[in-house]
């Protein structure tokens, strides 16, 4: 049997729905597997982003080793037929007509999708608007309302609009990227993520140095004489910015030779006053607390006040982001500033570079520095003792 006949046999095998064991022949086993996987995709009517059978399932199905099935899947991934995601599996990629990625849109407009327009997001937009204008583009703003389904619908609607050449996304409170972000990434559509990063994909993003800012703040508290420093955060699992702040907090302790007291760490804050009160009551040794953002810090200050714990005389409190309200509080809040204006300008610049680059070009993400802003909510430990 010649090579052409073998290829035709491989394509015709399994049409009845049965899976024959593969044997060595003119074609390597992994090449036979590659063809069989293509047949399975067609037979099962898989659509873009549907899961493809795993390495183990394919190995059992065709009587080959997991290594052979893995090689076949890797070959298909290189061809752009499938894509592989760590800890999730292998999925059918989305392709345009003729097997090519969808055509790039070249409009004179870019869009930004945000969860809400609060003080921080407002500053980003204020800086991004003139930056887009300087780049010769109009910036369209859409608000998802921290609703994942609405965010998905907006991304699809905007990406299908040929007048829009790229999208900037400030994701809602997600643990993993959404379906539409994945779709656009695989289609090489210009999309930039701001203030977030996802482990599953190497998406172009503009973020602040959360780890560095947290490390600097914790070092400042340690140098002020605090050895019992608490950490209060909303649930961290999957939210990289929160996890990086926690890592900076921990590393500062390790570098200073201080042990971490788990009783001083509360990492699932969810606006439950009773739970926060219970934590603060149980952390009697805590003289300072690092809060993962300014809103959490404000709740800690309010709770401390209800409990008769004076800030900062009894408890020093620090936050992260540095909202403009911080200087107006009864006790002005020490915080790590994430300059929103720099974020707004940088995301426009990064998106323009993606739009101008050939599809598939690797455009490096941007990490912006933070700045520690010291105010009256933190005092030295020696002053607390007086």
What pLDDT sits at residue 104? Answer: 45
Closest CA to 151 of 182, 181, 118: 181
Same domain, yes or no, for 217 and 201? Answer: no
Last residue in a domain, options 58, 93, 128: 93
The per-residue pLDDT of the chain, averaged, comes to: 85
Q: Exposed, middle or buried, 97 (CB in 10 Å: 0-12/13-18/19+)?
A: exposed
Same domain, yes or no, for 296 and 346? Answer: no
Residue 83, H or E segment: strand 82-85
Same domain, yes or no, for 333 and 234? Answer: yes
What pLDDT sits at residue 205? Answer: 93
Residues 6+ apart with CB under 8 A from 257: none
Q: Domain of 195?
A: 109-208+340-367
Query: Residues 141-160: what's their mean pLDDT?
Result: 92
The DSSP letter of residue 253 is H
CATH code for the domain in which residue 160 is found: 3.40.50.2300
pLDDT at 102 over 50: no
Q: Does 147 map to a domain? A: yes
What pLDDT sits at residue 103? Answer: 44
Tokens matching residue 101: 């990625």
Helices (H), the chain: 3-12, 29-43, 55-62, 66-79, 119-134, 148-159, 179-186, 210-223, 240-255, 273-282, 294-306, 340-356, 381-384
Distance CA 212, CA 261 (A): 22
Sheet containing 138-143, strands listed edge to edge, beginning at the edge strand earlier in sequence: 138-143, 109-114, 164-169, 191-194, 205-208, 366-368
Q: Does 259 map to a domain? A: yes
Query: Residues 334-356: what's their mean pLDDT?
Result: 94
* Res. 300 pLDDT band, cuts 50 70 90: very high
Query: Residues 269-277: what's their mean pLDDT?
Result: 81
Query: Residues 229-247: what's their mean pLDDT?
Result: 89
* Res. 383 pLDDT band, cuts 50 70 90: confident
* Res. 167 pLDDT band, cuts 50 70 90: very high
What pLDDT sits at residue 87? Answer: 65
CATH code for the domain in which residue 85 is found: 1.10.10.10
Query: Residues 141-152: what's their mean pLDDT?
Result: 90
Q: What is the pLDDT of residues 68-89, one digit of tens each?
A: 888 888 888 777 788 777 667 8
Same domain, yes or no, for 130 and 220? Answer: no
Same domain, yes or no, for 247 and 378? Answer: yes
- Percentage of the chain with pLDDT > 90? 51
What pLDDT sits at residue 12? Answer: 44
Q: Does 250 map to a domain? A: yes
Query: Residues 298-325: what's their mean pLDDT?
Result: 95
Q: Does 103 map to a domain? A: no
Query: Which residue reads 């392709």 in tokens?
Result: 95
Same domain, yes or no, for 282 and 312? Answer: yes
pLDDT at 265 over 80: yes
Q: Does 100 map to a domain? A: no
Distance CA 41, CA 39 (A): 5
Q: Does 98 map to a domain? A: no
Under 8 Å between Cβ of 210 and 217: no
Distance CA 139, CA 133 (A): 8
Under 8 Å between Cβ of 329 and 312: no
Intra-chain end-to-end CA distance of the chain, in Å: 94
Greatest CA separation found in the chain?
94
Query: Residues 199-223: what's their mean pLDDT?
Result: 92
Higher pLDDT, 131 or 49: 131
What pLDDT sits at residue 30? Answer: 65
């Amino acid at each position: 049997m010649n090579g052409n006949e073998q290829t035709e046999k491989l394509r015709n095998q399994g049409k009845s729905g049965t899976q024959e064991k593969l044997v060595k022949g003119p074609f390597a086993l992994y090449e036979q597997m590659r063809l069989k996987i293509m047949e399975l995709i067609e037979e099962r009517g898989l659509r873009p982003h549907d899961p493809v059978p795993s390495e183990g399932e394919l190995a059992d199905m065709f009587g080959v080793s997991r290594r052979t099935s893995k090689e076949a899947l890797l070959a298909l991934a290189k061809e752009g037929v499938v894509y592989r995601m760590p800890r999730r599996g292998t999925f059918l990629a989305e392709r345009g007509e003729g097997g090519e990625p969808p055509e790039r849109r070249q409009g004179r407009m870019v869009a930004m999708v945000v969860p809400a327009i609060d003080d921080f997001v407002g500053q980003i937009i204020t800086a991004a608007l003139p930056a887009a204008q300087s780049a010769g583009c109009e910036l369209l703003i859409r608000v998802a309302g921290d609703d994942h389904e609405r965010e998905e619908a907006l991304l699809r609607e905007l990406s299908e609009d040929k007048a829009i050449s790229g999208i900037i996304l400030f994701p809602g409170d997600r643990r993993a990227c959404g379906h539409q972000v994945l779709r656009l990434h695989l289609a090489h559509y210009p999309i930039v993520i701001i203030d977030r990063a996802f482990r599953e994909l190497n998406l172009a993003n503009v973020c602040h140095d959360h780890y560095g800012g947290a490390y600097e703040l914790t070092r400042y508290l340690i140098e002020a004489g605090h050895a019992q420093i608490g950490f209060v955060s909303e649930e961290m699992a999957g939210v990289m910015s929160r996890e990086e702040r926690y890592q900076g907090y921990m590393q500062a302790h390790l570098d200073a030779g201080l042990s971490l007291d788990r009783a001083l760490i509360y990492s699932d804050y969810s606006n439950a006053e009773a739970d926060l009160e219970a934590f603060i009551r149980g952390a009697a040794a805590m003289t300072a607390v690092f809060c993962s953002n300014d809103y959490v810090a404000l709740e800690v200050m309010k709770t401390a006040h209800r409990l008769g714990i004076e800030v900062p005389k009894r408890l020093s409190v620090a936050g992260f982001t540095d909202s403009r309200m911080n200087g107006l509080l009864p006790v002005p809040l020490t915080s790590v500033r994430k300059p929103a204006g720099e974020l707004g300008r940088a995301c426009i610049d990064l998106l323009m570079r993606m739009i101008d680059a050939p599809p598939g070009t690797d455009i490096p993400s941007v990490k912006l520095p933070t700045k520690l802003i010291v105010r009256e909510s933190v005092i030295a430990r020696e002053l607390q003792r007086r």
